[in-house]
Structure 1
Amino acid sequence: MSNLITTTDAQVQEEVSQADQPVLLYFWASWCGPCRLVSPSVEAVAQEYAEEIKVLKLEVDPNPETVKTYQVEGVPALRLVEGDSVQWSHEGAITKDKLKESLDRCLKQ
Structure 2
Amino acid sequence: MADIKSVTDASFEDDVLKADKPVLVDFWAEWCGPCRALGPELEKLADEHSSKIEVVKLNVDENPGTAAKYGITSIPAVFAFNGGEKVHTSIGAKPKPALEQEFAEWLK
Using the size of structure 2 for normalisation, the TM-score is 0.90
State the match for 2:86 in structure 1: 86
How far off is 1:107 after superposition?
4.2
Moved >3 Å (runs of 4+) = 105-108
CA contact (8 A) 1:25 1:78 kept: yes
> 2:46 — aligned with what?
46
Give 5+ residue unaligned stretches, structure 2: none
Which TM-score applies when normalising by structure 1?
0.89
Cα distance change on mapping 1:77 and 1:39 into 2, 3 Å: same
Kindly indicate whether the alpha-carbon contact (under 8 Å) linking 1:88 and 1:106 is maintained by their aligned counterparts in 2: no
User: Which structure 1 residue ranges, 5 or more long, are not aligned?
Assistant: none
Deviating more after overlay: 1-10 vs 84-93? 1-10
Give the conservation status (yes or no) of the 8 Å contact 2:27–2:75: yes
Partner amino acid, structure 2, of 1:88:
H
Cα RMSD between the aligned structures?
1.6
Contact 1:77 1:92 (8 Å CA) reproduced: yes
Task: Tell me the percent identity.
Answer: 39
Q: How does 1:1-109 map to 2 (within 5 A)?
A: 2=2, 4-108=4-108
Q: CA separation of 1:84/1:19 partners in 2, compared to 1, >3 Å: closer, same or farther?
A: closer
Report the residue type matching 1:95 in the other structure.
P
Q: Which moved more, 1:88-97 or 1:1-10?
A: 1-10
